[in-house]
A and B are shown apart, each in its own frame.
Chain A
Amino acid sequence: MTYDKRKIESVREGYGKALALYGKLNDKVVVLDADVSNSTLTKYFAEEFPERFFNVGIAEAGMIDTAVGLALEGFIPFANAFASLICYRALEQIRTCVSYCNTNVKIAAGYSGISDYKDGPTHHSIFDLAIMRSMPDMTVLVPADSVEAGMMVKAAAELNGPVYLRLSRADMPVIFDYRHKVKIGRGVTLVEGEDLTICCMGTLLGNCLDAAEKLRSSGIYAGVIEISTLKPFDSKIIVDTAIRTGAMVTVEEHNIIGGLYSAVSECLINNNISIPVGPVGIKDHYACTSLNIDDLYEYMGLSVEDIINISKKVIRKKRK
């Protein structure tokens, strides 16, 4: 980890560039988009490999089935659109033809969470992970920064089976560098802790690291772990850190129903571990439109301050 708050990179840029690069190494990779290649940044792949790029127009549901057909012919299709459309509108196609049929389709869901702050709630996806996590045979990947987003292209392509890759529109702090290795199904420890564990999924990881640093100055030693594979879930890292620190905070740009908070809670119950767990996430309501992402994070309770407050709350509960 080489975290520097000031180094900000576009997550979609990391994905788009990596996809074009990986296309060189693997000629089985084909890319589909639904008239948003200028936004998802699959345009880089399209420029390099026009013959392996298919823009199907504004037709997300049909695009998934077309990707399925390509997968059945032995290709590795990356189907791209906004999460709010590829997950919600094309859901039945994903259920039947990708998940149930277990086809090798990579669903690249851009503009996820509330990262498309300007376009508002129609363009947000605040419960896509609840859906995808409950879908049999679906691997669910959530990168934290541009570097990890890029690395997940290869990881997803080289995993045989359906993948939901949740990408952000946002420009976020760079957490990782080229030495980082994405291991599907494995969480990562970024900071060792004693008093509690902040467990993060996705691009709020920078906020978590900032919160841990501030907590340290008030004498609270918070560990930070990252879950970049929501499914299959790394129970071991949760159990280990839960036992060591005795309290946990989950942080996600998603509804607190069905995402990371749920996954962590289920894991703790399954392992008979009873510790306080506090959620930082969207409290089951739609967001709104904003002029910038930070204001919206604050408005939705996802800021550094929110992580600190919930951390202090779980620690108080732990002491009782």
Chain B
Amino acid sequence: MVLYSEEQIFNLEEISRKLRIRSLEMIYKRGAGHPGGSLSAADIIASLYFYKMKIDPGNPFMENRDRFILSKGHASAVLYAALAMKGYFPEDDLDNWGQLSCHLQGHPDRNKTPGVDMNTGTLGHGINIAAGMLLGGRLKKINFKVYVLLGDGECQGGIIWEGAMTAAKYKLGNLVAILDYNRVQLDGFVKDIMPLEPIVEKWKSFNFEVFQIDGHNIRQILEALDGADNIHGKPVMIIAKTVKGKGVSFMENNCYWHGTAPNKDQLETAKKELLERNKK
């Protein structure tokens, strides 16, 4: 069992806070984007990029790097903020998001933005692509992990489960899927649009090793990510209970904020809340 220092946890919490604030600033500036699902994923993204993944911003296509697929590609804001903070490209680029001349697209584009491993935006591709990468890695005898972040609404798509079967059949232990289980999608609550429960049993019955955590508790996220390293011969699903719009009270649990940009006042209120939050 790995022990995490208070300092380490605190630093990651601070990074998450910055990612949230930066995401909202970007969405405000562009007048477009997806705040709800960016905020719910911030702690997971921070833990992956600033703790777990073996990557080198100076060498984005390093062959044995860990890969990350933002299968819920609409949360691009928080990914872009993390990639910039890591140094894949200048932070200033974030302010030009969406401009014709800017490499940052509405949804991630690996041919334009350094650090992006796969184009996404239409939901449902992540697990299948991860399976292909890992089968390729196996043939090339290169060892790496592929992390995939999924939305819960996204899991309504049949292709998710096709990928799940492939990953299980080929015993892809290096596949770590994380479900951003925020219970809200575009049109409303998942339970009303198309219920997913029992979700734990679903993934278990598809032969995944399932962890259940609080997706806003950094310690639990790190434990799960490290714990996944000890699973061999089967893919891992980390079901992370999250809150859509986490950290901004008026955005939380509200599908209105799935794809609506805040105005100036709303941005300021949100930033204030995020800055005050958990300040000890």
A residues sitting closer than 8 Å to B (CB atoms) are 33, 35-39, 43, 55-62, 84-85, 89, 118-123, 288-291, 295-296, 299
Contact = CB atoms under 8 A, between A and B. Distances in A.
Contacts of B122: 84-85, 89, 122-123
B187 A38 contact: yes
Question: Which of B99, B122, B187, B194 has the most CB atoms of chain A within a 10 A radius of its CB?
Answer: B187
10 contacts: A35-B186, A57-B153, A57-B194, A58-B123, A84-B122, A120-B106, A122-B106, A288-B100, A289-B102, A290-B100
Interface stretch (B59-67, B154-162, B231-239): B154-162
Contacts of B98: 118, 289-291
Given A122-B73, A290-B98, 8 more contacts: A33-B187, A35-B185, A35-B193, A57-B194, A118-B30, A122-B121, A122-B122, A288-B100
Contacts of B102: 289
- Per DSSP, chain B at the interface is loop
Given A58-B153, A58-B157, A296-B100, A122 B107 contact: yes
A55 B109 CA distance: 30
Contacts of B185: 35, 57-58
B166 interface: no
A37 B185 CA distance: 12
Nearest to B153: A58
A123 B100 contact: no
Interface in B214-250: none
B120 A122 contact: yes
Contacts of A36: 186-187
Nearest to B122: A122
Nearest to B190: A57
Nearest to B255: A38
Contacts of B123: 58
B16 interface: no
A122 B119 contact: yes
A174 to B, nearest CB: 24
B156 A288 contact: no
A19 to B, nearest CB: 16
A56 B194 contact: yes
Contact of A121 (B105, B154, B156, B259): B105
Interface string B254-265: 010001000000
B124 interface: yes
Contacts of A123: 106-107, 121-122
Contacts of B193: 35, 55, 57
Nearest to B121: A122
A57 B156 contact: yes
Given A118-B106, A120-B106, A122-B121, A59 B100 contact: no
Interface in B140-164: 153-154, 156-158
A274 B124 CA distance: 47
Contacts of B57: none
A289 B186 contact: no
Contacts of B106: 118-120, 122-123, 289
A58 B124 contact: yes
A119 B76 CA distance: 10
A288 B156 CA distance: 28
Interface string B33-52: 10000000000000000000
Contacts of B73: 122
Contacts of B154: 58
A120 B105 contact: yes
Interface string B72-107: 011000000000000000000000001110101111
**Which 6 residue pairs spanning A and B have beta carbons closest together?**
A57-B194, A122-B121, A120-B106, A57-B156, A118-B32, A119-B106
B107 A59 contact: no
B153 A35 contact: yes
A61 B98 CA distance: 30
Contacts of A43: 187
B31 interface: yes
Contact of A291 (B30, B187, B255, B259): B30
A59 B194 contact: yes
Contacts of B107: 119-123
A33 B188 CA distance: 13
A36 B105 CA distance: 21
B275 to A, nearest CB: 28
A43 B256 CA distance: 14
A59 B190 CA distance: 13
B108 to A, nearest CB: 9
A38 B186 contact: yes
A262 B157 CA distance: 35
A89 B158 CA distance: 11
Nearest to B256: A38
A91 to B, nearest CB: 13
A289 B124 CA distance: 21
B155 to A, nearest CB: 8
A89 B160 CA distance: 13
A143 B240 CA distance: 44
